[in-house]
C-alpha cells in the first residue's frame, strides 16, 4: 500500500513539473521613449559637416543640440537652418552615451523619425493663378530645397500666362520650375528645355548666390 502511495506522489510531482513554464525576462532596452507620439518635436538642422565627427545636429526649440547616434533614411534634403519635425529616444541611466568626438552636442540620442515641417501660417498658393512674385527666396516654401539641391548662381523670375516661372541657373545649366515648385525641365536632360526657355521671354533676376 505504501508503494502505491509513494508512486502516486512521484507521478503527481512529475506532472506538475511538466506544466511549469520557465519565464525569461528580456534585458532592459538601451533607450527609453521620450514620448509615444512620433515626430512631435520641432527642430532646426545645424550643419556641422565640416567636422567629420558631427555631420548634422538637431537643435530643439529650447536650444538643446541633439547628436544622432542613428536615424532613419528619409527623402528630405538636409541643409543648415532647415526646420523639421523629429521623434527621438534618449539613452537610459545604465546605458548612457555621454561623449563623442563631435563635442558640441548637449545629448546623444536615437532619432526615430523625421518629417517635413509645414508652417501653419504658410500661404503657398495651390493654383498657378494665385501665384505672386517672390519677395524672399529663403522664405518661400519650396525654393530653399531647390537652392540646396541645385546650388544655383542666380535665380530668375518670369511672368507667364499662368502665374510665374523660375530658372535656377548654374553655369550653363538651367533648371525650370513653375511657381508651385514643380520641376518642368532642365537643360542637362538633352531634351527641348532650351527651346522651351527661349519662348518665355525676358526674366528678372531675383537672387544672386555665391556657392
User: What does the pLDDT profile of the chain (211 residues) look like in tens digits?
Assistant: 444 444 444 334 333 444 433 333 333 444 444 444 588 999 999 999 998 889 899 999 999 999 999 999 888 888 888 899 999 998 766 666 667 889 899 999 999 999 988 776 666 777 888 899 999 998 888 899 899 889 999 999 999 888 899 999 998 899 999 999 999 999 987 678 988 899 999 999 999 998 6
Helix (H, G, I), strand (E, B) or coil at 57: strand
**47 alpha-carbon distance from chain centroid:** 13
Place of cell 515648385: 181
Q: Does an H or E element contain 84, and which? A: strand 83-91
Structural domains in the chain, CATH included, are 31-116 (2.40.50.500), 128-208 (no CATH)
Q: What is the pLDDT of residue 1?
A: 46
pTM for the model stands at 0.55
Per-residue CA distances from 100 to 66, 105, 185 (Å): 12, 9, 44
Per-residue CA distances from 101 to 53, 105, 108, 198 (Å): 6, 10, 11, 52
Q: What is the pLDDT of residue 100?
A: 81
Amino acid at each position: 500500500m505504501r508503494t502505491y502511495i509513494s508512486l502516486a506522489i512521484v507521478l503527481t510531482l512529475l506532472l506538475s513539473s511538466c506544466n511549469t513554464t520557465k519565464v525569461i525576462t528580456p534585458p532592459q532596452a538601451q533607450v527609453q521613449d521620450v514620448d509615444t507620439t512620433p515626430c512631435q518635436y520641432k527642430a532646426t538642422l545645424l550643419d556641422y559637416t565640416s567636422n567629420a565627427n558631427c555631420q548634422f545636429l538637431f537643435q530643439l526649440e529650447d536650444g538643446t543640440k541633439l547628436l544622432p547616434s542613428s536615424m532613419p533614411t528619409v527623402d528630405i534634403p538636409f541643409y543648415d537652418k532647415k526646420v523639421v519635425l523629429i521623434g527621438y529616444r534618449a539613452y537610459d541611466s545604465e546605458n548612457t552615451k555621454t561623449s563623442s568626438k563631435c563635442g558640441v552636442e548637449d545629448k546623444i540620442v536615437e532619432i526615430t523619425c523625421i518629417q517635413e515641417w509645414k508652417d501653419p501660417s504658410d500661404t503657398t498658393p495651390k493654383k498657378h493663378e494665385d501665384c505672386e512674385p517672390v519677395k524672399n527666396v529663403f522664405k518661400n516654401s519650396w525654393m530653399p530645397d531647390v537652392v540646396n539641391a541645385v546650388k544655383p548662381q542666380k535665380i530668375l523670375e518670369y511672368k507667364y500666362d499662368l502665374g510665374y516661372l523660375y530658372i535656377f541657373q548654374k553655369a550653363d545649366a538651367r533648371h525650370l520650375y513653375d511657381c508651385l515648385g514643380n520641376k518642368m525641365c532642365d537643360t542637362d536632360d538633352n531634351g527641348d528645355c532650351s527651346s522651351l526657355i527661349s519662348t518665355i521671354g525676358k526674366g528678372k533676376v531675383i537672387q544672386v548666390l555665391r556657392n
